[in-house]
Amino acid sequence: MPEQPTHQPLAQTPAQTVGPFFGYALPYAGGSDVRAAWQSDAIRLHGTVFDGAGDPIPDAIVEIWGADAAGRPPTERGVLDRDAHGFSGFGRAAVDRGGHYAFTTIKPGATRTGLAPYLLVTVFARGVLHHLFTRAYFDDEAAANGTDPLLSSVDPARRNTLVAVSDAPGSYRFDIRLQGEGETVFLEFAALDFGLDGRHEEMQR
Amino acid sequence: MPRPAPQPGETQQVISTEIAALHRAAHDAAASGAPVPAHPPRDFPPYRSTRLRHPTHELVRADPEEIELVSPAFGHTDVAAEEADLTIQHTGEPLGERIILTGRVLDGEGRPVRNQLVEIWQANASGRYVHKRDQHPAPLDPNFTGVGRMITGDDGSYRLTTIKPGAYPWKNHRNAWRPAHIHFSFFGSEFTQRLITQMYFPGDPLFALDPIYQSISDQGARDRLVATYDHDVSEPEWALGYRWDVVLTGSKSTPMEPEDADHA
């Protein structure tokens, strides 16, 4: 009989797809305006979410989360019901029927010396059983990007999928490809995705 | 309401055979020592929509930086207390079985996830969503929208009053029906704890047939998505009660650490 652990870690709740019918529930007024567009430091981050056939996905929802211009995570309460003069760091935008999403936000500062600035991006969609995390770095930060540890660890052939491209003054394009040609690099975070007692349950079976 | 013509498509038997083969493979892998993932695989062919929507490259392991170790700061100003009661959002009473659903949101160490946003959405008692692309020919309920929000308490608890949703058909295969479920969205104390999932009701005969529920190969993990009927939550002459606790992350401790012996 296997030795029983004396401390039982709690069993993690599995993810399920967001499905196609979140449209009346998750999007909210102003959800894509992390920073009011009239603010002088506002930038646009936008793009299209594509599937493995290269077709735009009409039922995805994208969330972003980013530091302020000084690289500090926002801590102000009231993120949904935000003040247009403030900056909440969090945004949520459903794609339109053409698979396109758009946020207004600010360009974050680097959270630590030696890191390049980026926005954290989360993608949910029908057919995506567990959400996907990625990061949007900025193409006008070539020097910082060149030494960023995460970017440097990624296959050079795929690195540019993590970089938003300036396409107009104050505007960056960040397309997300779930599969196939130009597939976006998606991230998993250490120590967060292990079903330790899932393994334990199997041992008891 | 006219009855639609039956959809062509693969039979349930085809889908169920695929599910059984994938579960066998997962159990064999676990038996030979492979870790059992907490979440369903992103590629689960019996759920046909995963086919073109799962990454084919392995995910890149990243260390969470400062921004990923905190969460958006939702607060009580974001949510009105009435948003946790889906039965009072319109002038009349919604149709269906009124239920109370409560539970706690915890991290992998058992700590309550306090003051965080919980969002839910669901179909009505007839299995119809208030979404213009839901074309299931079941009636809409003018007194039920199916959207709720709440902020967890200091003990990580949430509580909502709603109507038990109905099962509904979908077009994954011929005669595909989703078990009754409520969609839940959680934020933890770290952005990396973000979770969107579905809560199911005990004893649903559709469990064995549903490729979304069955995308989780481990029975113990599947059971964690099913609420428990709780008679202490039920209210006399008013509503049936269910309890469902949620754990947003795996434990960061390993089960065999010697200091854990103190907890024996």
Banded model confidence at residue B252, pLDDT cuts 50, 70, 90: low
pLDDT > 70: percent of chain A: 87
List the beta strands (DSSP E) in chain A.
42-50, 60-65, 90-94, 100-106, 118-125, 132-138, 163-168, 171-173, 176-177, 187-189
Banded model confidence at residue A87, pLDDT cuts 50, 70, 90: confident
Banded model confidence at residue A1, pLDDT cuts 50, 70, 90: very low
The answer to whether the CB atoms of B55 and A193 lie below 8 A apart is no
pLDDT at B256: 40
Chain B residues touching A88 at Cβ < 8 A = 72-73
Q: Is the pLDDT assigned to residue B255 strictly greater than 80?
A: no
Banded model confidence at residue A88, pLDDT cuts 50, 70, 90: confident
B 57-76: CB under 8 A from A: 57, 59-68, 70, 72-75
In angstroms, the separation between the Cα of residue A71 and the nearest Cα of chain B is 8
B53 belongs to the catalytic site:
no
Q: CA–CA separation, B128 vs B102, rounded Å?
A: 23
In angstroms, the separation between the Cα of residue A28 and the nearest Cα of chain B is 11
B191: closest chain A residue by CA: A65
Q: Is the pLDDT assigned to residue A170 strictly greater than 90?
A: yes
Banded model confidence at residue B77, pLDDT cuts 50, 70, 90: confident
The answer to whether the CB atoms of B195 and A52 lie below 8 A apart is no
The answer to whether the CB atoms of A127 and B224 lie below 8 A apart is no
Q: CA–CA separation, B117 vs B156, rounded Å?
A: 11
What is the three-state SS of B224-259? Answer: CCECEECCCCCECCCEEEEECCEECCCCCCCCCCHH
Average pLDDT over residues B68-82: 89
In angstroms, the separation between the Cα of residue A166 and the nearest Cα of chain B is 23
pLDDT at A8: 55
Q: Mean pLDDT over all residues of chain B? A: 92
In angstroms, the separation between the Cα of residue A121 and the nearest Cα of chain B is 10
Average pLDDT over residues B73-91: 92
Q: Is the pLDDT assigned to residue B7 strictly greater than 80?
A: no
Catalytic residue among B27, B183, B224, B243: B183
Banded model confidence at residue B8, pLDDT cuts 50, 70, 90: confident
Average pLDDT over residues B34-63: 95
Banded model confidence at residue B261, pLDDT cuts 50, 70, 90: very low
A58: closest chain B residue by CA: B133
Average pLDDT over residues B24-36: 93
Chain B residues touching A200 at Cβ < 8 A = 255
Q: Higher-confidence residue: B6 or A136?
A: A136
pLDDT at A24: 92
ipTM: 0.93
Q: Mean pLDDT over all residues of chain A? A: 88
B242 belongs to the catalytic site:
no
Average pLDDT over residues A181-204: 61
Q: CA–CA separation, B263 vs B194, rounded Å?
A: 29
Q: Which of B15, B8, B10 is nearest to B209 (CA)?
A: B15
Q: Which of A131, A183, A199 sits opposite B56 (nearest CB)?
A: A183
Q: CA–CA separation, B172 vs B168, rounded Å?
A: 12
Reported as a single tens digit per residue, the pLDDT across B93-152 is 999 999 999 999 999 999 999 999 999 999 999 999 998 888 899 999 999 999 999 999
Q: Is the pLDDT assigned to residue A2 strictly greater than 50?
A: no
Reported as a single tens digit per residue, the pLDDT across A91-142 is 999 999 999 999 999 999 999 999 999 999 999 999 999 999 999 999 999 9
B129 belongs to the catalytic site:
yes
A81 interfacial to chain B (CB closer than 8 Å): yes
The answer to whether the CB atoms of A24 and B130 lie below 8 A apart is yes
The answer to whether the CB atoms of B40 and A111 lie below 8 A apart is no
Average pLDDT over residues B233-246: 98
Q: Which of A11, A24, A179 sits opposite B53 (nearest CB)?
A: A179
Reported as a single tens digit per residue, the pLDDT across A6-22 is 445 689 999 999 999 99
A200 interfacial to chain B (CB closer than 8 Å): yes
A109 interfacial to chain B (CB closer than 8 Å): no
Chain A residues touching B185 at Cβ < 8 A = 18, 26
B168 belongs to the catalytic site:
yes
A144 interfacial to chain B (CB closer than 8 Å): no
Q: CA–CA separation, A133 vs A164, rounded Å?
A: 15
CB A73 within 8 A of CB A109: no
- Is residue A123 exposed (0-12), middle (13-18) or buried (19+ Cβ within 10 Å)? buried
pLDDT at B67: 92
pLDDT at B2: 80
Q: Which of A170, A52, A159 is nearest to A102 (CA)?
A: A170
Banded model confidence at residue A84, pLDDT cuts 50, 70, 90: confident
B181 belongs to the catalytic site:
yes
Banded model confidence at residue A192, pLDDT cuts 50, 70, 90: very low
